[in-house]
Amino acid sequence: MANVNPDLRKERENGTFSVEKLTNLLDGGKHVTDRRRHVERLALNEFSKGEDYNFMSRKERYISALHKTERALRCCKEYGLTKPDEVYWLWQLAFPHEASPIQLHGDMFLPTLTRQGTEEQVNKYLPLAEKYQIIGTYAQTEMGHGTFIRGLETTATYDPQTEEFILHSPTLTSLKWWPGGLGKTSNYAIVMALLYTNGKNYGMHPFMVQLRSHETHEPLPGITIGDIGPKFGFDTIDNGFVQFDHFRIPREDMLMKYSQVLKDGTYVKSTKLKKSSYGVMVLVRSMLIYYLAIQGLAPACTIAIRYSAVRRQSEQTKSQLEPQILDYQTQQYKLFPILASAYAVLFTGVKMKEIYYEVDNEIQQGHTERLPELHALSSGLKALTSSMASWCIERCRLACGGHGYSAASGFPKIYVAVTAACTYEGENTVMLLQCARYLIKTYQGASNGKKLSGSVSYLSDKVNSRSTITSEFSLKSLVDAFKHRAFRFQACGSDPEDSWNRNSVVLTKAAEAHCYYYMVSVFESVVEAVEDDAVKRVVGQLCQLFALFAIHENAGDFVQDGFISNDQMELVKWKELSLLSDIRRNAVLLVDAFDFHDEFIGSILGRFDGNVYANLFEWAKSSPLNKPEVQESYIKYLQPLLNPNKSKL
């Protein structure tokens, strides 16, 4: 590439491994990289010349996102992109760190329909939904309750006379509130409501509900609907509210795969699947982990590391060039653990996708044994990785000094999208507690001699009471340390005498310890499987840093019971710093390996060519506030102060 900043060019010449090989590893093979790049070229042709998001109003952002949605759907059709990964690659460049107003249609509406609908219902609605002749969302949360699903108030009362359900919002707090795309875009929703039949409440069930007229898009009579107003971010999505006033739908529109209401109102439950109506949340939580790496951690550290290679600041030695800020140890300590976390979350995300599809497949065959473990793991990891991503992005912003605070850095857009995931799909503390609930039960089972498998097998294993860490820092010894911590926390958190609430802080820590152990072991197994020696060395260093940073940050957890000795902790600190120097040489290449397009990252600081300053200046000049030279507001508000004689007011 011509015109690359000389510092960045030097960084790229000095690396010790093949970036291309690492990119192939991250993608899952060279053929996947090739295909991804092909799809991305198609997407860039269509979407690279858009208006600057930073200078648009919220309404403009929504309208532009709808326009892009229509174009993205057309592109997928034209180019025959049907596989989920291919659609995702195209979508990612069409909506960089944004979401389409129809995001929930694909992410939750379709999966709920196909998993909870009967064959007949799927045959009726799926073809229409796949052609976007109906656009749906997932309406569960209400103004009064999001977390406590059993507290939802919207009712669906069966009327055997007309063979209809009557949907009703009995209170203000029962208004559906938050569903993405509900406000203005969707004409259908899967509404989660309390099922009443023959005078009895059977709890939350899913209902297919038409909200708007097919002809005019006006809300149907009995429905009051709208946008909930501006939010922290997600400007491109019309999160909405809906109020039902005795709104009738046919009996056939309750999604009846797992439970039915017969014509006479008899309720029949045809599954032993526990919490069957909660299924789609497990899907989204499982997928979110990969998404947080690709949409959050990886682009944020790409920006901060490239910028730190280009930025020079402060005089170290008289009359010599100011150093690249990436050469400061403190800067490396800010950024390299985040780089390591990006890789850790990415590998864990890939693993979680695999596990989800395995378990989902088993469930379709009637085997539900692994669901509780998947629910616990996806809840815990969703919470751990989304909060990790949020604070890491903020840390990257701080690492970029003043320019990090400009919208030109790209951080605001990335941050507001990622931090939302700490709340949606289950608020993080609540999700950690769900994970802990499973761990405590499992630990108690293991204490009674039950042999365990999967992510919790360590609870029935023998754990070492002394760390095997030496100056070699083998990955096995690091995995072992996290296993020990997780085991110890489960033991502390499961005091049967103590009340749940009184113990809940330690329970969240127990869940985090479990998830950390899981992430470190996934990372270790990825490193072990790498064939190329040079790539294995650098990814191994990142794995070590991910583990050592967490040991150092949480030193008390490891030394309190004497598992890690003082001498070993000194070694940990020494190794952590020496890893910073090792990684320094490859830092730029390690972010290049994510293979992001500038159009996706959306940051002047993180440009591939490193030409930060000239582009920053051009961008500032293009700000609407700079056109015209003298603003009308001057005449109205400033002239009377600055130049009272000339003021016409």
Ligand X SMILES: Cc1cc2nc3c(=O)[nH]c(=O)nc-3n(C[C@H](O)[C@H](O)[C@H](O)COP(=O)(O)OP(=O)(O)OC[C@H]3O[C@@H](n4cnc5c(N)ncnc54)[C@H](O)[C@@H]3O)c2cc1C
Interface residues toward ligand LTMAUQNL, by CB under 6 A? 99, 103, 107, 138, 140-141, 146-150, 180, 274-275, 278, 281-282, 284, 287-288, 291, 371-372, 375, 424-426, 430, 434, 437-438
Lookup result for tokens 């998404």: 291
Residues 493, 506: Cα–Cα separation, whole Å: 6
Q: CB under 6 A: which stretch of 172-180, 324-332, 462-470, 630-638 binds ligand X?
A: 172-180
Closest CA to 331 of 393, 398, 408, 412: 398
Which residue, 188 or 424, is less far from ligand X as judged by CB? Answer: 424
Provide φ and ψ at 197, rounded to 5°: -145, 145
CB 480, CB 468: distance < 8 Å: yes
Contacted entry of ligand LTMAUQNL, ligand X, none for residue 26, CB cut-off 5 to 8 Å set by kind = none
Shortest Cβ 497–ligand X spacing (Å): 20
Binding ligand X (rule: CB under 6 A), the pick from 407, 416, 430, 492 is 430
Using rule CB under 6 A, residue 436 touches ligand X: no
Please state the closest distance from residue 175 (CB atom) to ligand X, in A: 12
Which whole-number Å values give the CA distances from 45 to 42, 48, 65, 73, 90, in the listed order?
5, 6, 17, 15, 11
Rounded to whole angstroms, the Cα distance separating 134 from 106 reads: 12
Nearer residue to ligand X within complex by CB, 105 or 607:
105
For residue 638, is it left (φ>0), alpha (ψ between -120 and 50) or beta?
alpha
Q: How far is the CB of 153 from ligand X (least distance, A)?
A: 13
Asked whether 279 and 260 are in contact (CB, 8 A), the reply is no
CB of 192 to ligand LTMAUQNL, least distance (A): 9
> SS3 string of 428-479?
HHHHHHHHHHHHHHHHHHHHCCCCCCHHHHHHHCCCCCCCCCCCCCCHHHHH
Tell me, residue by residue from 47 to 86, as one string, x for binding to ligand X by CB under 6 A and - for no binding. ----------------------------------------
User: What x/- string results for residues 388 through 407 when contact with ligand X is judged by CB under 6 A?
Assistant: --------------------
Distance separating alpha carbons of residues 394 and 149, to the nearest angstrom: 32
- Residue 236 or 331: the one with the smaller Cβ distance to ligand LTMAUQNL is 236
Shortest gap between Cβ of 383 and ligand X (angstroms)?
A: 10
Residue 425 known to be catalytic: yes
Q: Which residue among 17, 178, 196, 347 contacts ligand X (CB under 6 A)?
A: 178
Task: Please report, as a single letter, which amino acid is at residue 162.
Answer: T
Q: Which does 103 bind (CB under 5 to 8 A by kind): ligand X, ligand LTMAUQNL, none?
A: ligand LTMAUQNL
Q: Which residue is nearest to ligand X (CB)?
A: 146
How many binding residues for ligand X (CB under 6 A)?
A: 21
Site membership for ligand X, residue 229 (CB under 6 A): no
**CB closer to ligand X out of 14 and 147:** 147
**Rounded Cα gap, residues 159 and 264, in angstroms:** 9
Dist CA 538 CA 534 (whole Å): 7
Instruction: Give the one residue of 154, 239, 324, 390 binding ligand X; rule: CB under 6 A.
Output: 239
User: Measured from the CB atom, is 351 or 382 closer to ligand X?
Assistant: 382
Choice between 416 and 530, CB closer to ligand LTMAUQNL: 416
List the one residue out of 593, 82, 34 whose CA is nearest residue 346: 593
Contact flag: residue 387 with ligand X (CB under 6 A): no
C-alpha to C-alpha distance for 568 and 480, rounded to whole angstroms: 14
Give the separation between CA 548 and CA 565, rounded to whole angstroms. Answer: 14
DSSP annotation of 513:
H
Site for ligand X in 122-151 (CB under 6 A): 138-141, 145-147
Q: Which two tokens stand for residue 576?
A: 């952590």
On whether 606 is known to bind a ligand per the annotation, the reply is no
* Minimum CB–partner distance for residue 427 and ligand X (Å): 4
Structure tokens at 461: 């294993």
The answer to the question of whether 562 is labelled as a binding residue is no
| DSSP-based three-state secondary structure for 204 | strand
Q: Which does 478 bind (CB under 5 to 8 A by kind): ligand X, ligand LTMAUQNL, none?
A: none
The residue among 334, 446, 440 whose CA lies nearest residue 393 is 334
Residue 196's binding partner among ligand X, ligand LTMAUQNL, none (Cβ under 5 to 8 angstroms by kind) is: none
For ligand X, the closer CB: 147 or 631: 147
Residue 427 interacting with ligand X (CB under 6 A): yes
As a dihedral over the C-alpha atoms of residue 260, residue 104, residue 281, residue 157, rounded to 10 degrees, the angle is -30
When CB distances are held under 5 to 8 angstroms depending on the partner's kind, the choice from ligand X, ligand LTMAUQNL, none that residue 286 binds is: none
C-beta of residue 519 within 8 angstroms of C-beta of residue 471:
no
**CA atoms of 88 and 444, how far apart (whole Å):** 42
DSSP letter, residue 637: I
Least separation in angstroms between CB 300 and ligand LTMAUQNL: 17
Q: Select which of 11, 425, 524, 576 is catalytic.
A: 425
Q: Give the distance, in angstroms, between the CA of residue 267 and the centroid of all CA atoms in the same chain.
A: 37
Could you list the beta-strand ranges (E) of 183-269: 188-197, 200-210, 223-227, 240-244, 247-250, 259-261, 267-269
608 binds, among ligand X, ligand LTMAUQNL, none (CB under 5 to 8 A by kind): none
Please say whether the beta carbons of 160 and 263 come within 8 A: yes
Name the token pair of 295.
């949409």
Element (H, E) at 585: none
Told to check if 424 binds ligand X by CB under 6 A, we report: yes
Please report how close the Cβ of residue 104 comes to ligand X at its closest, in angstroms.
5
Closer Cβ to ligand LTMAUQNL, 19 or 110, answer by number: 110
Q: Which does 371 bind (CB under 5 to 8 A by kind): ligand LTMAUQNL, ligand X, none?
A: ligand LTMAUQNL
- By annotation, the residues acting in catalysis are 425
The annotation places the binding site at 141, 180
The annotation places the binding site for FAD at 141, 180
**Residues binding ligand X (CB under 6 A):** 104, 138-141, 145-147, 178-180, 234, 239, 420, 423-424, 426-427, 429-430, 433
